[in-house]
Amino acid sequence: MTERAPEHLRVLSYNIHKGIGGRDRRYRLQRIIDVIAHESPDLVCLQEVDRNVKRSRFDDQPHQLAEQLQFPHHLFQLNVKVQTGGYGNLLLSRWPIAESHQVSLTLRQRKPRAAIWGVIETPNGPLRLVNWHLGLVEHERHWQVRRLLEHHLFRNQPHAATLIIGDTNDWRNTLGNGPFSVHGYASVTSPPSRFRSFPAWLPMGSLDKAFASPHLVIHRAHVVQSRLARDASDHLPLVIDFEIQ
């Protein structure tokens, strides 16, 4: 675990691949729990979280993750239906969530995608934390970013301290200088060569990214590269320590 100053907040973002290891293809949710717990985050944004799906033993992963990691506040967003259940995004918080919203990011005839965010009542003040998992096609991703940033629910709080984080699938690293730059958001995960997170066993792509409003001070950002993290999922986790100005 990396050390941090007491006043710094820590967020972890992680595509957990339904708890299925990227190399051994075994379902072991405990590995995911151990990876997250080792970093001691205050806030967690997870993608590809299963609920009631055969491949993950019909586990209620949102409930299990919140309970075993001891996060009293959580939001789950079911995006893709699978048989009797499905998977989506999960946000965990140590502090109360004052309000929450969900926005569809699904283009016609494309895989269902969405963003979920909560306004977290942190000890440093309110934080708007967005968790998402973007599409596989570049024009789709750019549309999804614009869709979020220009959505009326999002624009209602133009001065909110905001962190947008998750699996962007942005192989060519075009989002930072594209729609995010236009809307005044800075990339936290630059240069991409320092934040390679996929595939976990031999990271080549900087897919797990974060973007911050000017109200945040970033103290440290890194990708977790432990042996357990390389085995637990097909992505590595992203950890960010920050303050709210």
Which CATH number does the domain housing residue 121 bear?
A: 3.60.10.10
Burial class (CB in 10 A: 0-12, 13-18, 19+), 134: buried
In this structure, is residue 216 part of a structural domain? yes
- Please state, for a pLDDT cut of 70, what percent of the chain lies above it: 99
| pLDDT tens-place string over residues 17-61 | 999 999 999 999 999 999 999 999 999 999 999 999 999 999 999
In this structure, is residue 197 part of a structural domain? yes
Model pLDDT, residue 109: 84
Model pLDDT, residue 7: 82
Residue 3 pLDDT exceeds 80 = no
* Coil vs helix vs strand at 239: strand
Q: Which helix (H) or strand (E) is 232 found in, with range?
A: helix 227-232
CA pair distance 162, 214, nearest whole angstrom: 8
Count of Cβ atoms closer than 10 Å to residue 230 Cβ: 20
Mean pLDDT of 148-168: 95
Containing domain of residue 151, as a range? 9-244
Q: Which helix (H) or strand (E) is 102 found in, with range?
A: strand 97-104
Asked if residues 193 and 206 have their Cβ atoms less than 8 Å apart, the reply is: yes
Q: Assign 1 a pLDDT band (cuts: 50, 70, 90).
A: low
In this structure, is residue 209 part of a structural domain? yes
Mean pLDDT of 140-162: 95
In this structure, is residue 1 part of a structural domain? no
- Answer whether 0.95 is exceeded by the pTM: yes
Count of Cβ atoms closer than 10 Å to residue 226 Cβ: 15
Tokens standing for residue 73: 């506040």
Asked if residues 10 and 229 have their Cβ atoms less than 8 Å apart, the reply is: no
Q: Which of 63, 206, 79, 189 is nearest to 133 (CA)?
A: 79
Q: Which of 30, 31, 27, 61 is nearest to 47 (CA)?
A: 61
| pLDDT tens-place string over residues 92-101 | 999 999 999 9
Asked if residues 131 and 47 have their Cβ atoms less than 8 Å apart, the reply is: yes
In this structure, is residue 134 part of a structural domain? yes
Q: Are strands 162-167 and 125-133 parallel, antiparallel or unpaired?
A: parallel
In this structure, is residue 187 part of a structural domain? yes
In this structure, is residue 160 part of a structural domain? yes
Number of domains in the chain: 1
Alpha helix (H) residue ranges in 40-93 = 61-68
| pLDDT tens-place string over residues 183-235 | 999 999 999 999 999 999 999 999 999 999 999 999 999 999 999 999 999 99
Cross-sheet strand order for the sheet of 186-187? 97-104, 114-122, 125-133, 162-167, 208-212, 186-187
| pLDDT tens-place string over residues 170-193 | 999 999 999 999 999 999 999 999
Model pLDDT, residue 52: 97
Cross-sheet strand order for the sheet of 238-244? 73-82, 85-93, 43-51, 9-15, 238-244, 216-223
In this structure, is residue 71 part of a structural domain? yes
